[in-house]
Amino acid sequence: MALIQSAVSLLILGFLYRRMIKREIPTPISKSQAIVPVILGVVSLLLSLAFFIVDGLILGSMGYVGSDYPPLARSVIGSLAAAGLPEEAAKLLMIIITVVIFRSKIRNVYEYILIGAAVGLGFTLFEEFLYGSDSLLIAAGRLITVAAHMLIGIIMGRHLGIARYYKITGKGSASVQYILAVIVPVVIHTLYDSCIATNKLLEDNDETIQGIGAVLAVTACVGMFVLQFIILGRTKKNAGKYCEMLLLEQRDKHL
């Protein structure tokens, strides 16, 4: 099942990513620029596991005991420590490494968006391989939100690209964009996982609490499904605008 989920994810995300690349004006990025961040996205999952261990050690040193907190609080804290922080930090680092590698070739803000999408794609492929489920219900749930990491990468890349553009041109606050590049992905990821991926409410013996957990899980899944279309749609609509936010030419003017 893991191989099937990975294959289906590759077909869907590969199609979306290729369409995104073709939208760049006047010419698409090179093959190396398209492939390297995907590979680094795969690496980011391994790095996130190391970050997860560090988060656990930090919580332990702070005396955190899950049973001392109500179910919802445990779910949020657990999701933040297990996924929101470590996974987004790992992907952010891989995006930065990609930017450093291709610093002399990245022409516009749209290419930052492509980098974020590629890292999210690579992360998803490896995640589906590692965590593929034999449950058709779980597999179907993962499939309808398969672009989640990709869209979060798009958001992260967009804010980082705009921050770079503002820093070069002085047309806006780069600091605000850098903060948003970190905060928005972590918040989205944590809220989603706290409702569905590590939902402690479903494990409670109280039927009312279990019911609330089920509603939150369905709401999160539907919300992420819709958010995928919103982010991908807006990225398509504004691709031309992001391509016009030039970086190399602006940087050369200020040298």
Classify burial at 136, counting beta carbons within 10 Å of its beta carbon; exposed 0-12, middle 13-18, buried 19 or more. Answer: exposed
* Residue 113: predicted pLDDT: 98
Its sign, for the CA torsion 114, 231, 193, 84, is: positive
Contacting residues for 128 by C-beta, under 8 A, at least 6 apart = 2, 5, 6, 9, 142, 146
Query: What's the whole-model pTM score?
Result: 0.92
Classify burial at 148, counting beta carbons within 10 Å of its beta carbon; exposed 0-12, middle 13-18, buried 19 or more. Answer: buried
Domain ranges of the chain: 2-16+29-253
**Any idea which residue has 């948003």 for tokens?**
180
Alpha helices in 102-173 (DSSP H): 109-131, 136-144, 148-169
- Residue 83 one-letter amino acid: A
Return per-residue pLDDT of the chain as tens, 255 residues. 667 778 889 999 999 999 999 999 999 999 999 999 999 999 999 999 999 999 999 998 998 887 788 877 888 898 999 999 999 999 999 999 999 999 999 999 999 999 999 999 999 999 988 876 656 666 676 789 999 999 999 999 999 999 999 999 999 999 999 999 999 999 999 999 988 866 556 666 667 767 777 888 889 999 999 999 999 999 999 999 999 999 986 555 544
* Residue 255: predicted pLDDT: 46
What is the DSSP-derived secondary structure letter of residue 108?
A: B
Which residues, listed in sequence order, are joined to residue 108 by a DSSP beta bridge? 246
- Orientation of helix 207-237 relative to helix 2-22, angle to 10°: 30
Classify burial at 231, counting beta carbons within 10 Å of its beta carbon; exposed 0-12, middle 13-18, buried 19 or more. Answer: buried
* Residue 216: predicted pLDDT: 86
* Residue 200: predicted pLDDT: 59
